[in-house]
Amino acid sequence: MQRMVIERILIGIVTLWVVSVLVFVMTSMLPGDVAQIVLGQSATPESLAAYRAERGLDQPRVFQYFAWLGNMLTGDLGTSKAGGATISSLISGRLYNTMILAAIVAVIAVPLSVALGLMAAMYPGTWIDRSLTFGTLALISVPEFFIATFMVLIFAVNLGWLPAIARVAPEDTFWESARGLAMPLITLIIVVAAQMIRMTRAGILNVMNSPYIEMAILKGVRRKRIILRHAFFNTIGPIVNVIALNLAYLVSGVVIVETIFAYPGLAKLMIDGVQTRDLPLVQATAMIFCGTYVILIILADVAAILANPRLRNPK
């Protein structure tokens, strides 16, 4: 069992390395360069050259890669080619915002969706199941930016209950930040929960035609216990996996929500980075995203191993 865990971790590390190469190569493919983007329409050959020299954009790629990799391993993410600020200073605040948002969503969405998923599986074919299935179906079928904007119009513009954008400022009171975060939270919860509810339900129904379920029925076990004790415990693996994927999405995939609510998160920073050709920034954020993903997946695998008695205590 320890072997399996270690194996997972090693695989994770290898993956991360591949990612680093991938990210570097892809960012190198980007046309135009930071100098051009920053100086924009008013760029002149001299000012461009000056800018490049000033920020050391004129060394060969390979050197840049290893330099970058080395620095990153020593925890130095470099400095922004655009603003000149250190990447870590740019990221730190954003990372915090992103993590807070993700954490809150997770804390609310995960239990909620697992519970609802179980409920749907417990009464298959009933109105509860049908309405849940169709509701979630509808939600995962509409572009999230539509959901988000729709909510903004209703709650911010028309009703004026909530601010349209989620600008979090340190001086905000708890209540202010709560109101500010409300809509991104709701949007993300809707998007993420819909997925997880469906997956939980599917996962449960998957084991539902195992002989041991039939046996439970023949033992006169109540449906609640069949689902919660007999089925659920055999579905933990897959469910945890889905949860992990969704959490990874919360950290990296929420570009659109961050854009619509002008929420200063990492994903948005990454997009800005791409648009300003701020390669160190893009690379750093990308590595953070992939790192999170890999870690989450490892955790999920380990959880699955622990949840499975065969692997937990072999003969």
Site for another protein in 62-91 (CB under 8 A): 80, 82-85, 90
Q: Are the beta carbons of 304 and 241 closer than 8 angstroms?
A: yes
- What residues numbered 254-273 form the site for another protein, per CB under 8 A? 255-256, 259-262, 264, 267-273
* Cα angle: 268, vertex 274, 277; to 5 degrees: 140
Smallest separation (angstroms) from another protein to the CB of 53: 9
Residue 206 touches another protein, criterion: CB under 8 A: yes
Among 5, 9, 19, 99, binds another protein (CB under 8 A): 19
Told to check if 93 binds another protein by CB under 8 A, we report yes
Please state the closest distance from residue 10 (CB atom) to another protein, in A: 11
Q: Which stretch binds another protein (CB under 8 A): 64-72, 99-107, 108-116, 218-226?
A: 218-226
The interface with another protein within residues 172-201 (CB under 8 A) comprises none
d(CA 158, CA 146): 16
According to CB under 8 A, which one of 108, 128, 163, 305 is a site residue for another protein?
163
Q: Which residues, numbered 124-153, are part of the site for another protein (CB under 8 A)?
A: 124-125, 133, 137-138, 140-146, 149-150, 152-153
- Using CB under 8 A as the binding rule, whether residue 115 contacts another protein is answered as no
In the chain, the N- to C-terminal Cα span, in Å, equals 12
Among 13, 259, 232, 35, smallest CA distance to 115 is for: 232
- The alpha carbon of residue 179 and the mean position of all alpha carbons in its chain are separated, in whole angstroms, by 22
Runs of H (alpha helix) within 45-173: 45-55, 61-73, 87-122, 127-141, 144-151
Q: Are 284 and 78 in contact (CB under 8 A)?
A: yes
